[in-house]
Chains A and B, each alone.
Chain A
């Protein structure tokens, strides 16, 4: 579970980083950029609480 949530958080970070860069390079529109940012934000807040600041059992 912890690994899965970490992967989702990683995807969210990639989305948050890449969407503005893709918009900057004219690959996507501003509406698409904003949608990716919103989805990535939701993914981050749904996944990060499961591993950030939670001590590993190992």
Chain B
């Protein structure tokens, strides 16, 4: 199947109809897709940032095991059952529930987040140029570009990524699939070589080195919050919340023959979000062992220290292959708002914005917070889809209300979304709850608000119809 061959390609078929039986795929396709998609250049930032936050060995390992398990269960029991029964994209389902205008706002938000993420990937890949040419690169605490050479390097890398995403999306998507198994082995090499360089000589030494050289616990670096088991667990669970609980992967899993195929996400979680994050943390620990004053998180130099030129290749390819679909998806999101504009031009504009955002290290150095923010903003729409499918019909209310009432803007999900984001942001900004924990209560708040809002609006609409009759 085409999709099997270029599995990173965003789904563009059956946009407004259920996926027919002949187009449905077996579990192997999803195993490959999830394993490939979750080994990205940004994993090389996330692993070291856990070390920066002073997490202990026990907390990171247990936190990642439990958090990734919860993510897999979310895909399996929340996303996949709706995906395989309805077999529609998230966008089309949202259009039926929320109306066209509200989906446009969701598109803009989604596109903006994808653009910023692509900017972070451009930054990650540019660290390779920095490593090769020995140019000054941003530090952990830098929020603004710190040298003209860094800005020029980002411009070059960003322009290359954008032009390729606009021109040759399909061929690079195929290249990404070819690179995926190689990248997995490179991350294994990072871990094995890194552990040896840290002094590990037998498997018995692992826990001693993990506790005393890598994830030492204790105080985080100055200016960083202390991470515990709960931070790691919630981060691992919610870093892809927009995809599982947020339902973006309805678009992918609608191709699954059976709902249990959601379990294939375990390949991505335990390779990308377990092994790759731990490997990157090991590389950072080796950097600190060599020079305790060098606290910069720069994937290029980290990878080069362990694996030489092959390590640098891995950073640039991991960044490139994931920035490509990210730029493409951002382009598609914005193009949906302006359907007459050319995708080529939209992707180039998105690439230019991503490049400018990539110049600011504040985003990539605060990647953990950015990923959590993304989830917090987009997750509520997943709660709306879940409630509309399972709870609304049981309450005697009408699902897909925007389609039924022929309205462009359904106030019930709009209020649920906006109120949840405003309340969550207020809680985070006032320091009452950390951003990593706010999405879980946010889901219940959205669900409750959507049920109450639907009840009031639908009852009011019924009364209006009765009065008119």
Binding site for B on A (CB under 8 A): 12-13, 16-17, 19-21, 23-24, 30-31, 33-35, 37-38, 40-41, 44-45, 48-49, 52-55
Contacts and interface: CB of A to CB of B under 8 A. Distances in A.
Contacts of B6: 53
Contact of A41 (B4, B182, B188): B182
Interface in B336-387: none
A49 B181 CA distance: 12
Most chain A beta-carbon neighbours within 10 Å: one of B175, B177, B181, B197: B181
Contacts of B175: 49
27 contacts: A12-B182, A16-B182, A16-B185, A17-B185, A17-B188, A19-B189, A20-B189, A20-B196, A23-B193, A24-B192, A24-B195, A24-B200, A30-B193, A33-B193, A34-B310, A34-B311, A35-B308, A38-B308, A38-B310, A41-B310, A41-B313, A44-B182, A45-B179, A48-B181, A48-B182, A49-B174, A54-B5
Interface of A is mostly: helix
Interface in B178-223: 178-179, 181-182, 185-186, 188-189, 192-193, 195-197, 200
B309 interface: yes
Chain B, interface SS category: helix
B193 to A, nearest CB: 5
A18 B313 CA distance: 19
Which 5 pairs, one residue from A and one from B, show the smallest C-beta to C-beta distance?
A34-B308, A20-B192, A37-B310, A53-B5, A16-B185
Given A37-B189, A37-B308, A41-B313, A52 B182 contact: no
A49 B193 contact: no
Contacts of B181: 13, 48
A23 B195 CA distance: 11
A35 B174 CA distance: 26
Contacts of A17: 185, 188
Contacts of B311: 34, 37
B109 to A, nearest CB: 33
A32 B6 CA distance: 35
B86 interface: no
A52 B237 CA distance: 32
B440 interface: no
Given A34-B307, A37-B310, A53-B6, A20 B188 contact: yes
Contacts of B182: 12, 16, 41, 44-45, 48
Given A24-B196, A53-B6, A16 B186 contact: yes
Most A C-beta atoms less than 10 A away, residue of B175, B179, B196, B313: B196
Interface string B307-330: 111110100000000000000000
A52 B178 contact: yes
A41 B313 CA distance: 9
Contacts of A52: 177-178
A53 B308 contact: no
Chain A CB within 10 A, most for which of B175, B192, B310: B310
Given A20-B196, A35-B308, 13 more contacts: A19-B189, A23-B192, A34-B308, A37-B186, A37-B189, A38-B309, A40-B310, A41-B182, A44-B182, A49-B174, A49-B178, A53-B178, A55-B5
A16 B310 CA distance: 10
A45 B309 CA distance: 15
A17 B185 CA distance: 7
A54 B5 CA distance: 7
Contacts of A12: 182
A33 B186 CA distance: 12
Nearest to B173: A53
A46 to B, nearest CB: 11
B309 A34 contact: yes
Interface centre among A16, A17, A31, A40 (most CB of B within 10 A): A16
B271 to A, nearest CB: 15
A55 B174 CA distance: 13
Contacts of A49: 174-175, 178
B178 A37 contact: no
A35 B189 CA distance: 13
Contacts of B186: 16, 37, 41
Contacts of A33: 193, 307
Given A34-B308, A38-B308, A45 B185 contact: no
B300 to A, nearest CB: 15
Nearest to A16: B185
A56 B363 CA distance: 45
Nearest to A15: B185
A45 B80 CA distance: 34
